[in-house]
Amino acid sequence: MSNLSACSGGWPGTIPASAGIGLRFPHHRDVIETRPAVGWLEVHTENYTGGGNPAACLEAVRADYPLSLHGVGMSLGSADGLDADHLARVRDAVRRFEPALVSDHLSWSLGDGLYVADLLPLPLTEEALAVVCRNVERFQDGLGRQILVENPSSYLRYRHSTIPEAEFLGAVVAATGCGLLCDVNNIFVSACNHGWDAMHYLDTIPAAAVQEIHLAGHAIRTINGRDIRIDDHGSAVSDPVWTLFSAAIQRFGRIPTLIEWDNNLPALDILVAEAAKADAILAAAPQHTSERERHAAFA
Amino acid sequence: MPRLRDLQTAFVRSLRDPDDAIALAAIGLLDDAADPGIPATARIGIHRNTHIGTLTTALRQTFPAVEALVGVDFFETAIALFVQERPPRAAGLNDYGCHAQADGAATTGPGFPAFLARLPATASLPYLPDVARLEAAIAAAAQAPDAGSLTPQALAGLGDAAADHALTPHPSLRLVTVTGPIEILWRAVLDHDDATLRSLALPGNRRGLLVYRATAGVTINALDPAQTDFAARLCGGQPLRTILDDATPAALLTLFAELLAAGCFTATRPLAIEMPS
């Protein structure tokens, strides 16, 4: 396990156990000028590794909002290991913006020497588990702090997978001391696509490690007469995902919860209203965070 | 059981070419029995759509005037070919397609502008690669690292020693050499300014476009040939003594002052003086 105890704590601010929104470029000005009533903001790390206007906007908003950096490019499942240059860019962004949370995905995007710009599924094998643990440790060691790993949405499975996904995530947590980002929409999408029991998934992942929840919309496509759900972040959170969210926070307690919306981006007030809806559900949830605090401190 | 590296290689090849024999091996790894009804090829197709869609969005955001000039269908066809020829090799797509075309080289290099210049179908639009090179320079300038500015006072403080110093350009600074009023064409295309488009005289004369990020955002400064050569030497690491002297025309001195005031340089660096042997 990585020894990160000397590095935990000391990061400015924490994410409140309330709803936040994903900040995208078209909303920069609106957020700076109107300061909407949301608890925190999350951005895609890769959009803020340069200078100029994006970085200046993030500097402006982080004075008023706790911040989370959510990566889409670390490729934690790549057999070839992490891209050292990308790790350095992310490390520099973390030093500059001092986010309260840093996260990426249980997936891979780099293979055959190329970056494919998608979050691709891993075979859930002992070999892949070792690869992910090695990469998560290198990521955490490179930053000198704990990261969160997000469960993926899935459209296919491999014949040679041997470990259920929720158990795989638990094993990564146990081996590396990382935290989890529980994407409730992704659980719902994968459960529908593969016939999984979403409640069992929630019961299986280590609750104390969950430090953030994602909510988003998804699409339904029909192929060969069968529906398949696609995690496209292009619409409002669906009713069954809200229901699953309520069940999740009954298990995890009040957790920082993000509204993600990337495609067909609506006006800012629509996002803020979605966050308010999440806040109302969070307010009714139990507050049992002591175990989670121990996990974060342990990491 | 396949090794993870081999699976990932096959999967990537299947995204890029559905007929790839190695890729077919990856499809054979997918569990059709567990998820019946939708064939493995269709499931990989979902990821292929995201792969090409994300890269298309990245290039569309960087090259909006190019898309407007050639139309959506041709633009997307060109992107599909470009992605095959020059796929990204690292995460972070904000500068995808922008490399090696903002240095004044006409049609060489691996970037999207050079790729466009090689397409036979673009031969009837000789200004298209120049517009693309300008858009690449704008994108690069917009996201270049932040850096401090060399102040006129700091330069003046060096006194006579300044002559043996070179200037360090701001990381956002790009000098693009084009033929004709490309920056006017670019702006008119984005603004749907048909009157200006009709009035443009293309191809026109060689000119330099100095692109840099000032406090107000990305700025494009159009330069005549003398100014272009002057700016190239200012940015090229030569000692100031070889660029500025008593014979420097007033117009070039004014340009120098403007660029200095705009924060186009971050520092001076002393150059070793050659000693007689």
Statement: residue B104 has pLDDT above 50:
no
Of the candidates A54, A85, A158, the beta carbon closest to that of B31 is on A158
Answer whether A51 sits within 8 Å of B5, measured CB to CB.
Answer: no
What SS3 string covers B88-112?
CCCCCCCCCCCCCCCCCCCCCCCCH
Tens of pLDDT, residue by residue over B80-99, are 999 999 999 999 898 899 97
Q: What is the pLDDT of residue B107?
A: 36
How distant, in Å, are the alpha carbons of A40, A173, A255, B26 from that of A279?
12, 27, 10, 43
B60 touches chain A (CB under 8 A): no
Statement: residue A225 has pLDDT above 70:
yes
Query: Is residue A6 very low, low, confident or very high in pLDDT (cuts 50, 70, 90)?
Result: very low
Q: Which two tokens stand for residue B183?
A: 């920056």
Residue B7 resides in a domain: no
CATH number of the domain encompassing residue A84 = 3.20.20.150
- Looking at chain B from residue 38 to 57, which residues have their Cβ under 8 Å from any Cβ of chain A? 38-40, 42-44, 46-47, 50-51, 54-55
Query: Is residue A64 very low, low, confident or very high in pLDDT (cuts 50, 70, 90)?
Result: very high
Residue A8 resides in a domain: no
- Helical pair A239-252 and A184-194, crossing angle rounded to 10 deg: 120
Domain containing residue B109: 31-270
- How many CB atoms are located within 10 Å of the residue B272 CB? 6
Answer whether B90 sits within 8 Å of A86, measured CB to CB.
Answer: yes
Q: Nearest-CA distance from B229 to chain A in Å?
A: 27
Residue A4 resides in a domain: no
Tens of pLDDT, residue by residue over B8-46, are 999 999 999 988 878 877 778 888 888 888 988 899 999
Statement: residue A160 has pLDDT above 60:
yes
Answer whether A155 sits within 8 Å of B47, measured CB to CB.
Answer: yes
Average pLDDT over residues A148-175: 97
Q: Nearest-CA distance from A209 to chain B in Å?
A: 27
B143 touches chain A (CB under 8 A): yes
Q: What is the pLDDT of residue A1?
A: 42
Alpha helices (H) along chain B:
4-16, 21-28, 40-62, 64-70, 72-85, 112-118, 128-143, 152-157, 182-191, 194-199, 225-235, 250-261
Query: Is residue B187 very low, low, confident or very high in pLDDT (cuts 50, 70, 90)?
Result: very high
Q: What is the pLDDT of residue A5?
A: 38
Nearest C-alpha in A relative to B42 = A223
Q: Nearest-CA distance from B251 to chain A in Å?
A: 30
Q: What is the pLDDT of residue A119?
A: 97
Query: Is residue A7 very low, low, confident or very high in pLDDT (cuts 50, 70, 90)?
Result: very low
Residue A12 resides in a domain: no
Looking at the structure of chain B, the number of domains it has is 1
Helix (H, G, I), strand (E, B) or coil at A2: coil
Of the candidates A72, A85, A225, the beta carbon closest to that of B90 is on A85
Query: Is residue B262 very low, low, confident or very high in pLDDT (cuts 50, 70, 90)?
Result: very high
Statement: residue B235 has pLDDT above 70:
yes
Domain containing residue A107: 19-298
Average pLDDT over residues A121-130: 97
Query: Is residue A178 very low, low, confident or very high in pLDDT (cuts 50, 70, 90)?
Result: very high
Mean pLDDT of chain B: 90
Q: Nearest-CA distance from B276 to chain A in Å?
A: 43
Which residues in chain A touch residue B29, judged by CB atoms under 8 angstroms apart?
Answer: 123, 158-160
Tens of pLDDT, residue by residue over B38-80, are 988 899 999 999 999 999 999 999 999 999 999 999 999 999 9
Average pLDDT over residues B216-233: 93
Statement: residue A172 has pLDDT above 90:
yes
Residue A290 resides in a domain: yes
Tens of pLDDT, residue by residue over B149-184, are 999 999 999 988 999 999 999 999 999 999 999 999
Residue B172 resides in a domain: yes
- Percentage of chain B with pLDDT > 90? 73
Tens of pLDDT, residue by residue over A195-218, are 999 999 999 999 999 999 999 999
Q: Which helix (H) or strand (E) holds A150?
A: strand A148-150
Residue A262 resides in a domain: yes
Average pLDDT over residues A178-207: 97
Looking at the structure of chain A, the number of domains it has is 1
- Percentage of chain A with pLDDT > 90? 90
Average pLDDT over residues A132-155: 98
Which residues in chain B touch residue A72, judged by CB atoms under 8 angstroms apart?
Answer: 91
- Looking at chain B from residue 212 to 241, which residues have their Cβ under 8 Å from any Cβ of chain A? 213, 217
Residue B4 resides in a domain: no
What SS3 string covers A22-38?
ECCHHHHHHHHHHCCCC
Residue A6 resides in a domain: no
ipTM of the modeled complex: 0.92
Q: What is the pLDDT of residue B99?
A: 79
Interface test with B, best of A91, A158, A194 (most B CBs within 10 A): A158
Statement: residue A289 has pLDDT above 60:
no
Which residues in chain A touch residue B13, judged by CB atoms under 8 angstroms apart?
Answer: 112
Which residues in chain B touch residue A109, judged by CB atoms under 8 angstroms apart?
Answer: 91
How many beta-carbon pairs below 8 A join chains A and B?
Answer: 145
Residue A78 resides in a domain: yes
Query: Is residue B103 very low, low, confident or very high in pLDDT (cuts 50, 70, 90)?
Result: very low
Interface test with B, best of A115, A125, A265 (most B CBs within 10 A): A115
